[in-house]
Amino acid sequence: MMLTMMSRHVAQVGGLLILGAVLGCGGTAPGPAAPAASTAPAASAPAAPSAPAAATPAAVASTRVPFTALPDGTAPRPFSAEQIRDAMPVGHRIRVRQEQDRAPTIEEEWVVTAADAQGCTIATKVFDVEGNLIRDGGTETGAWSKLREHAAFPAAATEISTGTIELPMGTFETRVYRVTMPAGDGAPAVLTLHFAVSLPGPPVLMVAERAGVQVSRMTMIERR
């Protein structure tokens, strides 16, 4: 279920990326690999667009982070598999708000129901904004190493910066990944992901834009 929701979140920017199952941290987009020795350009990530919620996430000024592409042409990952594993033990709970263009706002709850050295199982439930259960999304299982690769983005299309973000659940130091690629009609499609340094795993804020217009937003509202 999480794969379905996260893929739909990105589909609105013309299939820019297919986000990964379980963690939904990102996905590898098609395209030629960048040379391993090249250094991808970096630029400050813009402040997140305004959301209708009362407590609007605010991204504070960021600092560019030059990086060298990995041998496969992708940008360095924000976290290691071990960091994600250690941050998501059995019982760990994440709740996110999903806002999409021309669709009702919903909230998803992801709970780690099983975990070992190799991977984890996550149960998903979907609620409306008033907390009423819409559906039970069942469970998904994935290896920690596979989950790490969900944050694999083409180096040539990626800019990385560090910054600070204010969310309803607190203020966090972040690594910001801004991925820019043309959509199917050639319009610029941008996916901006804010990863909290202290919270290995899915981004605390993810915004998808097409031709400069926000089409979807995912905001983490609880993690414990």
CATH at residue 25: 2.40.360
Distances (CA, A) of 9 to 32, 87, 91, 92, 117: 24, 24, 26, 23, 30
Cα R_g (the chain), whole angstroms? 16
**DSSP letter string over 26-94?**
--PPPSPPPPTT-EE---PPPPPPP-SSSS--EEEEEEE--EE--TTSBPPPSS-HHHHHHH--TT-EE
What was the pLDDT predicted at 75? 98
What was the pLDDT predicted at 62? 74
> Structure pTM?
0.78
Count of structural domains, the chain: 1
Reported as a single tens digit per residue, the pLDDT across 172-210 is 999 999 999 887 778 889 999 999 999 999 999 999 999
What was the pLDDT predicted at 215? 95
Which residues of the chain are modeled with pLDDT < 70?
1-56, 60-61
Full domain range(s) for residue 138: 2-223
